[in-house]
């Protein structure tokens, strides 16, 4: 039982060291709040830009060609989906980089 308790204590100590190293790194690189705001900004822009471009192209196509469906709505959804995928991919890459840095 002492080995299990010792192992749990060692694991806890290891996790605390890892967390404190992460906080020290964030403090050296800049404020955690600014990093969070920057992350929200990048995610927001990565979704907003394809959405707005899709809407603009949709409006152009709706004025140019008469269809039984709306290009604007179709390309709006396509822009949101593309932007969301792009934001997800970017966050996943940043998370993987952070995990590699921790090891």
* pLDDT recorded at residue 13: 85
Please give the residue range of the domain that contains residue 72: 31-102
Please enumerate in sequence order all residues whose Cβ is within 8 A of that of 93, keeping only pairs 6 or more positions apart, or say none.
none
Residue by residue, what is the 3-state secondary structure of 27-86?
HHHCCHHHHHHHHHHHHHHHHHHHHHHHHHHHHHHHHHCCCCCCHHHHHHHHHHHHHHHH
Q: Are residues 21 and 3 in the same domain?
A: yes
* pLDDT recorded at residue 7: 79
* pLDDT recorded at residue 30: 63
* pLDDT recorded at residue 95: 76
Q: Are residues 40 and 55 in the same domain?
A: yes
Only one residue has tokens 């749990």, namely 8
* pLDDT recorded at residue 56: 97
Q: Are residues 41 and 85 in the same domain?
A: yes
* pLDDT recorded at residue 76: 97
Query: What total number of domains does the chain contain?
Result: 2
pLDDT tens digits for range 21-80: 877 777 666 655 666 666 677 788 889 999 999 999 999 999 999 889 999 999 999 999
């Amino acid at each position: 039982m002492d080995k299990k308790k010792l192992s749990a204590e060692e694991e806890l100590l290891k996790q605390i060291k890892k967390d404190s190293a992460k906080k020290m790194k964030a403090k050296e690189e800049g404020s955690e709040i600014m990093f969070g705001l920057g992350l929200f900004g990048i995610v927001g822009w990565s979704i907003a830009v394809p959405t707005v471009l899709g809407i603009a192209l949709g409006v152009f196509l709706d004025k140019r060609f008469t269809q039984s469906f709306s290009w604007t709505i179709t390309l709006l959804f396509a822009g949101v989906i593309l932007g969301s995928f792009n934001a997800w991919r970017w966050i996943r890459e940043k998370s993987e980089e952070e995990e590699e840095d921790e090891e």
